[in-house]
Every structure is written in C-alpha cells, then in structure tokens.
Amino acid sequence: MIINQKSLREQVYDFIREELTRGKLIPGAAINLNAISEELGISKTPLRDAMLQLDTEGFVTISPRRGVFVNRLTLEDIRNCYEIIGSLESTAILAVFDSIQPLHIEKMKLLNSALRTSIKNEDFQAYYQQNILFHDVFLEMSHNQSLKRIIAPMKRRLYDFPRRGYIKEWEQSNCRDHDRLIEAFEAGDRDAAVRGWREVHWSFDAQEKYIRRFYFPEAREARVAKTPRRSPSPRDLKRRRVLQNRSARGEDPTT
C-alpha cells in the first residue's frame, strides 16, 4: 500500500495526517496503533516514529500506558498559533522586503486573482493550495529555515484538522489583506506591510468572529437555539387580530 521514495516514517505520517484531515480520526479519540499497523502492513517502529512527530506538532498526545489520543484544537491553541505565525511571517516580510522584485509582486497578484476565482467557483481545495502558495512567495525568499520549520506544522494544525468548509466572507477579506500587502510592497512601505500582516491578517482579535464561526460552529448554533424568541408586543397582537378579521371577512389582509 505504501510504496514510494519517502521513508516509512514519512509515509505513515502522511497517512495519519490524511486521516485527520478527512475526519476519520476524531479529536479526543484514541488511535488504534495495532489496526493501523495491520492496515498498512508495517511494523510498529515507523508508526511510533510518526506519532512522535505528530505529538511534537500538537496533533496527538502520547500518554504512557494509556495510548495515543487525537488532540482537540482549542480556542487558546488557535490564539497561540495566530500570535506565533503572525510574528514569524512579519519577521520574514521584514527580512526579504528589499529583495522583493516586480516578478514576485506579479506572482502574488496572479495568485490572489486565482484565489478570487476559486472563491467564486466555490473550489475551496484549489483555494487552500493557492493561499499556501501566496504566502510562500515571500516565505521561500527567507534564508531562515528554522522559521519556516516552525510555521509549516502550525499552519497544518490550523488548516488540516480536519479540513473544513469555508466562510466565503472570510476568504474575501483574506484576499483584501493580500491586496494591501501587495500595495505596501509596491509602495516600498515596510511598516504598512508588517502592520497589516501582524495586526490584521494574523491578528486573533481582528479575526475572532470568523475563527469562532469556522472552528466552533456547533457553539454558535447552540447559542442561536437558546436565544429566546421575542414575545409579541400588544401592538403586534392587535395588528395580528385585525389581519385575521380581514381575512375572515374575505378581505385582502395586506391592504
């Protein structure tokens, strides 16, 4: 089942990530290592190695004598990821700002246009990939490999756990953030580029309303369900009786 140039550990890691993305491994649930070992036809060693990496990246928790459990993504986890990614990507922008060339700006414009097309077509799988590529335009210019190694698993944690539906309004706002970054690059305004990226694009406070809708829709639905219906006012009741009487007399109630 697993035959390619990657190491067994990498292949098992990819397999588990895919199971998380598809929601086959549910947050809070224990992972049956014996079943996965049998399904993939592998020994426990590469499986344990993959689990150690997933534990390091925050996807799972290895509990001695109890097993391996899929972590829940909490609001605090998301807040922390936003703070760290925002700081690191802003640092990358500062580091590469003077190296940004017209060809980089043109690539970002093309990708942002493609993002808007994907939103229009509701092709959110394409949107996901194009959004990663947009950020990679400036991230790949950075020589700080440690920075990139930290950012990548955090983004996977945010985006792939599991892959969710999208909020069109949020994605459109995301594209506008991209526009402002491009404009800052074109204007040579490094302060505007960093400020917009850290204080808006990757600001938990600025994005919280979307974050709650995206990651915790069940909580929002519960709040709506618990919201008491407003009792009709005396004026509403009087108007309702008038309309009912008109209808009973065969008159048009809307006049």
pLDDT exceeds 50 at position 151: yes
- Sequence letter at residue 150: I
23 compared with 239, residue with greater pLDDT:
23
Residue 23: per-residue pLDDT: 83
Going along the chain from its start, the domains and CATH numbers come out as 8-70 (1.10.10.10), 75-216 (1.20.120.530)
Tokens of 3: 């035959």
Polymer length in residues for the chain = 255
pLDDT tens, position by position, 73-90: 999 999 999 999 999 999
The candidate with the shortest Cα–Cα distance to 54, out of 12, 5, 7, is 12
pLDDT exceeds 90 at position 139: yes
pLDDT exceeds 60 at position 251: no
CA gyration radius, the chain: 25
DSSP, collapsed to helix, strand or coil, labels residue 30 as: strand
> Could you give the CA distance from residue 154 to residue 160 in angstroms, rounded to a whole number?
10
Q: Which residues of 185-207 are buried (b: 16+ CB within 10 A; e: fewer)?
A: beeeeeeebbebbbebbbebebb
pLDDT tens, position by position, 183-206: 999 999 999 999 999 999 999 999
pTM: 0.79
pLDDT exceeds 80 at position 219: no
